[in-house]
Structure 1
Amino acid sequence: MSDLSFISSRGKRAYHTVVRPDFELYFEASKNIYHAVDNPHGTFPLNVADNNLNWPILRERLQHIAATKEIPEWVSGYTSGLGHETFRAALAEFLGNFLANRPLDPENIGVAAGATAVIELSAIILADKGDVAVFPAPAYPVYSRDIMNKAGVERYDLITHHDSAAIHRGPTLSIEHLEKAKQDIEHQGSNFKLLVVTNPDNPTGGLYTAEQLETIADWCIERKIHFIVNEIYGLVTINTTDPAIVDDYSDHHQFTSFLSLIHKKNSPYLHQWYALSKDLGISGMRVGMVYSLNQAFLTAFNNLNLPHMVSNHTQWLMENVLGDQEFMRNFLDAQHQALTKGYIIVVEILKKLAIPFVPSYGSLFIWADFSKYLVEETLAAEIEFWKTLYKNTGILLTPGIGFGHTKRGMFRIVYTCFDDEALLVAMKRIQHYLADLPTPSEIVAL
């Protein structure tokens, strides 16, 4: 063990704070990745939200830009803490055309090095240490670290359901849920300061409707609670009308961006988070942003963002990519088709195994219920099944721990890490392993 006497108390907390519980196995699995020819017995880490489906298309475009365009003078110098003006203009036009379906003002955008930086800065600026941020459960586990590590904001998991069948038509967050959470938080002597929803949802792939968002926004504005909608998966939606999955849905509503509602309400309490990491599949390039009409917030963001700024070269590259409307339209069309195909591969195997799952409208995930394979509905049994599945198949899923949900045995499957052929191999491995694995109820019956 390292000698911790040489670091601060903050350093000690960081030393003992694991970012997420599945990272150790993820990095182990990443050293032995499956390849049909070179490593046919390799592993499939399907637990981290990487979108690799159309990286070759984007990589070719980036290489072409770098080889044919002259780098402008501003790239080598300092720029605004909110992002360079030409990049923010390109980002505003891209989001206006493809996400919001309305014009957006680049002056309302702040850019930082990835969604994590944007979330952390937002928590620091909008809430005080000890204040509470509410997340409808299940929710992305690392939100806890993003809002706590530096801002000191507490996470509250708002339970709206237990069984996943309750959310087959989408998230069930209601005003009654919010009122109950507010009462609970205030009873504990704390302050309900932030409400964060992810749309499309991580991990369920559900969509909030425009009516839901407006109702929730009105409630938050009246109570002076900052309402933030994370639309990091806004352009990775699937075709729910595809014949292979059409019967899984009772309706086929589409994604509606929060950006139009922000302008409609014109409130300092409404904000949107976005990043290029999932829709474009470039997590490693670290490009995140916030959109807000709250100018005090954006000024503070500018003043605090120096350690989190996106490299000017990256901004320049992405300005050229986003500014090519025809390329982006073709890229996103290809993305939509690839996402749908990968999603179908996974759910067809789940159906054969009679594993319940939430029909997804978007994101990179499928939220599936493996609880019938647990020896008991406990966290220990969930972790044991997760590790045993990985040991026997090489398939690493995201365990339910950290999502803040009540039901054990729920796992997240990321279906965008491998191409269709490899993904099918992964799912066949799961099928073969689980088909021969008796459930605890079957063992008792014997």
Structure 2
Amino acid sequence: MIEKQTLSKIGQSASQNPMRIDLELYYEAEENRFHPTENPSGKISMNVAENHLCWEMLRDRIQQVTRENDIPEWVASYTDPAGAPSFREATASFLSKFLTKSPMPAETLAFSGGATSVIEMTAFLLGNPGDTAVIPAPAYPVYSGDLGALPGLKRYDLQTHQELAELKSGVSINTDLLQKAKDEIEANGSIFRMLILTSPDNPTGMIYSYTQLERLADWCEQNEVHLIVNEIYGLSQIDISHPELSNDYPKPIEFLSFGKLMAERKSPWLHLWYSFSKDLGISGFRIGLLHSYHEALITGYRNAGLGHSISNYTQWVMQEVLKDDAFMEDFVQKSQKRLTDSYLIVVKSLRENHIPYQVSYGSLFVWMDLSQFLLEQTDSAQHDFWLKIYEETGVLLTPANGFGHQKKGLFRMVISGVDQETLKEAMKRLTKFFQNQS
């Protein structure tokens, strides 16, 4: 008897394709989590991009807000699907002060439940099924699902470099590469609909200079391509002036938010994504946003976004936290210091083990080159080596599969999801592993 298919084509695809290939091992590792005294041989998960470095600060502030304030009446009712007006105002003020350093009108913001929802919503409002989104490689693997599963957009991984050393002066993306990609995409019957940049980048930690952003914006406006910059790690910056790190930055790039350029041009082709998940370490709160001067896009987001809205209670709690400028300034400073300390623990160990790594300006990652240990430069050898690291050390890294880069043997380590003592234990285990490979 032939089993009748009861799912749609999208449903069939979703049931057969895991969101990411490392989730099963992640759940396994979390069930056997390392503890220095209670479980010293336990696993250490360093593959999921979470930031727990300053959670205790934010938790205490949230608890204070809920103790000292009555819940307003509007929280129990429907509100604007794009975000409650008071929450939009509080967020716009926060981002203007801490991220973009330029005015951000509240009416240019639209919210939904997490970064994934924002990417998905933006994709189906700007693109048509079969259109193409170009992303410099390596890049966040789950972009493929966010853009493709429901909106139906294709992902094009733009190869800007081969070796890490080529990124010393920044990401080598230019308009010639974009034009070549456009010609290839159109020759294959698709449309180059959007260019997506992440700054600071996932996984490399690189940033785009303001001059680069201006040139790329010029090209995109001229070619009617939507340029979207994802600044989800915009406040997760490394202190590159640290005396033990400064030599890695002989020609430092200054981070300037794309929001500044957007405020100058107010172009319907320029957009920014942000979420509180990474910089504030509250991925479970599910707060993502689109910033755009494209009025019809914001209106469309509101009209189509009811099913993606954020809980009013979450909006109220976070607006009260965001309005406390003194607290947020202290939080951002401490978070960046702890991130820098964690980054230093990792890169000092990599230096001692002669492991090449990408110098980072920000994000929650270290992107390292372990290609010297591969038996052969293939996807299968790369996958097997990732499993070998986990099986022999109990340290779970993010596999390179899905990042879209042509070089094999590059791996991502999340440095912000564990405390610094656990991070030191992970590097101790990895050091022993690397030495045994020689």
Pick which of 245-254 and 190-199 moved more: 245-254
**2: CA distance, partners of 1:248 / 1:9:** 49
Which one-letter code corresponds to 2:299 in the other structure? T
| Match of residue 120 from structure 1 | 120
Matches within 5 A, 1:375-390: 375-390=375-390
Matches within 5 A, 1:412-427: 412-427=412-427
For the residue of structure 1 that corresponds to 2:229, the secondary structure is: strand
| Match of residue 309 from structure 1 | 309
Q: What does the per-residue CA deviation read over 1:357-379, in whole Å, with 9 as the maximum and x for residues that have no partner?
A: 11000000111000001000001
| Match of residue 321 from structure 2 | 321
Gaps of 5+ in 2: none
**1: CA distance, partners of 2:124 / 2:9:** 20
1:250 deviates by 1.6
**2: CA distance, partners of 1:222 / 1:248:** 36
| Match of residue 290 from structure 1 | 290
- Does 2:250 correspond to 1:280? no
1:23 deviates by 1.1
| Match of residue 63 from structure 1 | 63
| Match of residue 37 from structure 2 | 37
**2: CA distance, partners of 1:108 / 1:141:** 28
Q: What does the per-residue CA deviation read over 1:271-299, in whole Å, with 9 as the maximum and x for residues that have no partner?
A: 00000000000001000000000010011
1:186 deviates by 1.0
Q: Percent identity?
A: 45
**2: CA distance, partners of 1:142 / 1:4:** 30
For the residue of structure 2 that corresponds to 1:195, the secondary structure is: strand
2:10–2:149 contact (8 Å) kept in structure 1: no
| Match of residue 178 from structure 2 | 178
| Match of residue 399 from structure 1 | 399
1:169–1:250 contact (8 Å) kept in structure 2: no
Which one-letter code corresponds to 1:66 in the other structure? T
For the residue of structure 2 that corresponds to 1:388, the secondary structure is: helix
- Does 2:359 correspond to 1:359? yes
Which one-letter code corresponds to 2:73 in the other structure? E
2:102–2:263 contact (8 Å) kept in structure 1: no
| Match of residue 339 from structure 1 | 339
For the residue of structure 2 that corresponds to 1:347, the secondary structure is: helix
1:8 deviates by 2.7
For the residue of structure 1 that corresponds to 2:30, the secondary structure is: helix
Q: What does the per-residue CA deviation read over 1:73-107, in whole Å, with 9 as the maximum and x for residues that have no partner?
A: 00001010110000000000000000111121000
**2: CA distance, partners of 1:415 / 1:251:** 25
1:4 deviates by 7.3
| Match of residue 205 from structure 1 | 205
**2: CA distance, partners of 1:427 / 1:339:** 16
| Match of residue 90 from structure 1 | 90
1:437 deviates by 1.7
**2: CA distance, partners of 1:197 / 1:54:** 27
1:400 deviates by 0.9
1:300 deviates by 0.6
Matches within 5 A, 1:141-156: 141-156=141-156
| Match of residue 442 from structure 1 | none
| Match of residue 267 from structure 1 | 267
For the residue of structure 2 that corresponds to 1:436, the secondary structure is: helix
Gaps of 5+ in 1: 439-446
1:28 deviates by 1.0
Which one-letter code corresponds to 1:393 in the other structure? T
| Match of residue 136 from structure 2 | 136
**1: CA distance, partners of 2:328 / 2:170:** 28
The alignment of Structure 1 onto Structure 2 pairs a total of residues equal to 436
Q: What does the per-residue CA deviation read over 1:286-332, in whole Å, with 9 as the maximum and x for residues that have no partner?
A: 00000000010011100111111000000001001111000000000
| Match of residue 222 from structure 2 | 222
| Match of residue 251 from structure 1 | 251
Q: What does the per-residue CA deviation read over 1:119-145, in whole Å, with 9 as the maximum and x for residues that have no partner?
A: 000000000000000000001000000
Instruction: Report the TM-score, using the length of structure 1 for normalisation.
Output: 0.96
**1: CA distance, partners of 2:23 / 2:255:** 31
2:226–2:270 contact (8 Å) kept in structure 1: yes
2:259–2:272 contact (8 Å) kept in structure 1: yes
**2: CA distance, partners of 1:33 / 1:321:** 31
For the residue of structure 2 that corresponds to 1:429, the secondary structure is: helix
